[in-house]
Chains A and B, each alone.
Chain A
Amino acid sequence: MTAGREGHLSPRELDRFNGCVLPYLDAAYNLARYLLRDAHDAEDAVQDAFLRAIRHFDSFRGVDGRAWLLSIVRNTCFTRLRGRPSRGENVEFNEEIHSVEEAVSGPEVDLARKAATESVHEGLERLPVEFREVLVLRELEGMSYKEIAQVSGVPIGTVMSRLARGRKQLLLAMAPPGPKENG
């Protein structure tokens, strides 16, 4: 069947694409919007991601069209983030530096306090992109750790620790200014 395909979707593949992948366009845009924090960039990235998804549709084996599509969207967005150094986006992510375990002082807490906000949405937008990613997939997409791991291309243990750290950092940023919070 792939022999006659010559790099294009066959009518059957088009049906399958429309049924398994296209329904997740909103999920794709929502993720891109949070990762890139720019409506226009997010549209471009999602369009790029879909072109890739169409080209590589023969690699789609499973039934989980959402995780498959979102992993392409995610990779497209991270490539774009690497291409925009001036925006100050933290792509060189370091699990150590970004750890807030036992943090009651130090650069992490200063950062969190500087980012203090009342709005949980703003707090989320200001988190390092790797934390933002897992939180969006978990809270807005309702994905399991296994699915998130598949989208982000990291082990489940990493998903677990990023979610824990992201939540801690967001809670710190949301904490009312003034008296020091005790971890």
Chain B
Amino acid sequence: MLCEDVLERLSAFLDDEVDPLGSREIQKHLDACPSCTDALGRMRGLAERLRAEAPYYPASDSLRVRVSQAAWSDASRGRITGRRFGVAARGWLGAAAAVVVVLGGTWLVTSLQREEGSRLIEREVVSSHIRSLMASHLTDVASTDQHTVKPWFNGKLDFSPPVSDLSASGYPLIGGRLDYLRGRPVAALVYQHRKHLINVFAWPDERAADSGTPPRTQQGYHVIHETHGGMTYWIVSDLNPEELSAFARLLVTGG
């Protein structure tokens, strides 16, 4: 193999994109040719410098919000048209109704309603999370001290939300604010993990038994619902589901 043939394929050789036979020939030539080996070294150095020095530009939070909002609102427009005119949607509802009649029970209706209800809350919770990031109205009371944040809610809510200090586990408290969900004022507590913000919405639900759901994904955000000790918690963040679950466990057990 001549140097010029090798030099021509050096870039593809570097990327491991040369067929095995050609690759063996190039390697054989390189073993004997210091000048081609030198050229490969320069090319490899360039690739390494590009990876190390050329910045990787991440999308801004506001772009993230706009884009996920666009997908979500497109889908909800689809749902509205589907409900009014969609033959498929009507057919599905009809089938569901028939099943209900055949079973003669009400449990299915209740579970469907519960499912739909929790989907609705999930959407509300995610919208609220996005709004809090968007309007730079993340906290009404900015403090990392649970003994400042908890009393702040006195007189603003008819319950006292549990506020934990989880900074030792890597989830420092950022603050709290009042929010409005399911037609009632609720406590929103903001925690942070590395660069990710976590909104925790809490309100009392004495009727519910202790339970937890695995993380669900909505518009690129993860949502966890936990009920513990008569309190219901909705936890939402762009943090990965594993760490968010770990956070949820810490939160309900009080660290």
Contact = CB atoms under 8 A, between A and B. Distances in A.
Interface of A: 1, 3-11, 13-15, 17-19, 22-23, 25-26, 28-30, 33-34, 39, 42-43, 46-47, 50-51, 54-55, 101, 119-121, 124, 135-136, 138-140, 144-145, 160, 163-164, 167, 170-171, 174, 183
A78 B72 CA distance: 27
Interface in B52-81: 53-60, 63-64, 66-68, 70-72, 74-75, 77-79, 81
Contacts of B8: 101, 164
Interface residues of B, number: 47
Contact of B67 (A19, A25, A33, A42): A25
A39 B59 CA distance: 10
A47 B67 contact: yes
Interface of B: 7-12, 15, 17, 42-43, 46-47, 49-51, 53-60, 63-64, 66-68, 70-72, 74-75, 77-79, 81-82, 85-89, 217-220
Given A18-B220, A22-B68, A139-B54, A170 B59 contact: no
B74 A26 contact: no
Nearest to B79: A11
A140 B48 CA distance: 10
Contacts of A39: 57
Contacts of A8: 74-75, 77-79, 81-82
Contacts of B88: 1, 3-4
A153 to B, nearest CB: 18
A164 B39 CA distance: 12
A167 B11 contact: yes
A79 B219 CA distance: 28
A171 B15 CA distance: 17
A150 B47 CA distance: 22
Given A25-B59, A30-B56, A51 B70 contact: yes
Nearest to A140: B56
